């Protein structure tokens, strides 16, 4: 049976049914709010610290601030930070900015250094510049590598220029005897060689020859310098380009080569001096004339030793000489070449009955006469000399022909050669020319 509550003290009836609680302050749920905490102080004094740990003594003082700003009434969570703001840290302060992105070594700088050390100059320069551009950005490093690659490329370039320049100007890489002939060869520039020097080390059909291997002419070779001529006369030697004039000028000045038994396999090569060039031909202003052997195999003697004693250039022919045939070079601009002499008591096609020079002052203008004028001079002068030269010849029909200088060859040779032969083309079997 329960005891009814005391009417004078209404709380007495509740004392029996409330469980006992230790004297320590109870932790209230955090969702109670400040009003709940104030209600726990019936006497109106400052509320106890509701965040004290269980078992710790309660302390007086204001309630600590929440770690996040409170949202509007009734909101479950605080509002997000405004755009661009640094979000708060776990303890209320601003969050630290993210660590910077780690810098990487520029791959262009690495390639520049490697190619620079290997001597790949164009590649090293290109990647070196690209590496420097990347190194200016804070996301890449490698400026020193890029600079190292560029320095290596420049060093290789300087070495190449020095080596090339030394090779071009070197004219002392061959040894010569007292007569000037090469005794111990070496690699030299073509235009540094002298007349009579032999060389190899180039393709037979090469259109441009620079460095060659100079050798004694008794050793296998494919080329020989036939002349070095001052460039002055070449500039006024007929029409055409400087190279074309130099080519014809060399042919006229080295016509003796046409007497070589290898002449059919020889091809002329010409070097024209260049202003500011580094070879002796450039410095002296000389055209270098050469002959290249184009057949299979090589030569092992100088061209002067291959000259056929029975062959003559047209300028070397004299009245009374008998030849098998007039050999035309196929060049209309300049008559060059040589013919083979035959004994006049053997069958032959032509005999020379006159040879003379057209006077140098025949051209009133001081320049080379026109080709029409030269042809007319040859015809008239050969006709005039015919009767006297063949006064004792057998009575039969004869034909005459002649070779005259050209406008281009006028400065080299002004000679005219007159030939006589049978009109029907039958070979002559004895001399018909009177001395």
Give the per-residue pLDDT at 254: 87
Do 402 and 303 share a structural domain? no
List, for residues 15-28, the tens digit of each pLDDT value.
Answer: 444 444 444 444 44
Do 258 and 224 share a structural domain? yes
Do 387 and 430 share a structural domain? yes
Give the per-residue pLDDT at 35: 43
Do 326 and 347 share a structural domain? yes
CA distances from 155 to 79, 126, 235 (A): 66, 15, 42
pLDDT band at 331 (very low <50, low <70, confident <90, very high): very low
Element (H, E) at 14: helix 12-15
Domain that holds residue 193: 170-307
Average pLDDT over residues 366-371: 76
Do 381 and 252 share a structural domain? no
Do 385 and 369 share a structural domain? yes
Choice among 33-47, 169-183, 360-374, 410-424 with the minimum mean pLDDT: 33-47
pLDDT at 333 over 50: no
Cβ contacts of 429 within 8 Å, gap of 6 or more: 345, 346, 347, 348
List, for residues 221-272, the tens digit of each pLDDT value.
Answer: 999 999 999 988 887 776 678 888 888 888 888 889 989 999 989 999 999 9
Average pLDDT over residues 341-349: 93
Q: Name which residue leads in pLDDT, 305 or 22.
A: 305
Examine residue 397 and state whether it is found in any structural domain, yes or no.
yes
69 closest CA partner among 58, 80, 56, 54: 80
Report the distance separating Cα 435 and Cα 425, nearest Å: 24
Is the Cβ–Cβ distance between 299 and 293 less than 8 Å?
A: yes
Report the distance separating Cα 147 and Cα 143, nearest Å: 6
> What domain count does the chain have?
3
Give the per-residue pLDDT at 32: 42
Do 176 and 301 share a structural domain? yes
Is the Cβ–Cβ distance between 205 and 183 less than 8 Å?
A: no
Give the per-residue pLDDT at 3: 46
Report the distance separating Cα 418 and Cα 412, nearest Å: 19
Examine residue 23 and state whether it is found in any structural domain, yes or no.
no
> For the whole prediction, is pTM greater than 0.95?
no
Average pLDDT over residues 266-287: 88
pLDDT band at 54 (very low <50, low <70, confident <90, very high): low
Examine residue 368 and state whether it is found in any structural domain, yes or no.
yes
């Amino acid at each position: 049976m329960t005891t009814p509550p005391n009417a004078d003290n209404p709380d007495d009836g509740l004392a029996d049914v409330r469980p006992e609680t230790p004297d320590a302050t109870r932790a209230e749920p955090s969702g109670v709010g400040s009003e709940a905490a104030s209600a726990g102080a019936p006497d109106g004094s400052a509320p106890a610290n509701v965040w004290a740990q269980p078992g710790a003594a309660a302390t007086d003082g204001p309630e600590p601030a929440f770690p996040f700003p409170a949202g509007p009434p009734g909101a479950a969570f605080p509002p997000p930070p405004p755009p661009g703001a640094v979000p708060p840290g776990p303890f209320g302060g601003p969050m630290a900015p993210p660590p910077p992105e780690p810098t990487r070594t520029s791959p262009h700088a690495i390639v520049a250094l490697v190619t620079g050390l290997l001597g790949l100059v164009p590649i090293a320069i290109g990647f070196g510049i690209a590496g420097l551009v990347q190194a200016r950005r804070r996301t890449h490093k490698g400026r020193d590598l890029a600079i190292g690659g560029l320095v290596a490329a420049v060093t290789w370039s300087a070495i190449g220029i020095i080596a090339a320049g030394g090779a071009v100007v070197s004219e002392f890489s061959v040894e010569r005897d007292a007569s000037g002939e090469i005794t111990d060869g070496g690699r030299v520039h073509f235009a540094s060689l002298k007349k009579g020097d032999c060389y190899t080390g180039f393709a037979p059909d090469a259109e441009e020859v620079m460095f060659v291997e100079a050798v004694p002419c008794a050793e296998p070779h494919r080329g020989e310098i036939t002349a070095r001529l001052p460039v002055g006369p070449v500039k006024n030697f007929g029409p055409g380009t400087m190279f074309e004039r130099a080519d014809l000028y060399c042919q006229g000045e080295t016509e003796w080569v046409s007497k070589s038994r290898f002449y059919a396999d020889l091809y002329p090569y010409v070097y024209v001096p260049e202003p500011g060039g580094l070879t002796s031909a450039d410095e002296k202003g000389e055209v270098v004339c050469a002959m290249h052997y184009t057949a299979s195999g090589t030569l092992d003697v100088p061209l002067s030793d291959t000259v056929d004693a029975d062959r003559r250039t047209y300028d070397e022919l004299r009245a009374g000489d008998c030849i098998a045939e007039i050999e035309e070079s196929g060049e209309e601009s300049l008559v060059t070449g040589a013919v083979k002499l035959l004994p006049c008591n053997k069958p032959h096609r032509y005999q020379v009955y006159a040879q003379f020079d057209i006077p140098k002052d025949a051209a009133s203008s001081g320049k080379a006469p026109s080709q029409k004028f030269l042809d007319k001079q040859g015809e008239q002068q050969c006709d005039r000399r015919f009767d006297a030269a063949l006064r004792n010849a057998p009575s039969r029909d004869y034909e005459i022909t002649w070779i005259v200088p050209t406008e281009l060859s006028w400065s080299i040779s002004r000679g005219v050669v007159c030939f006589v032969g049978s009109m029907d083309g039958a070979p002559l079997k004895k001399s018909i020319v009177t001395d």
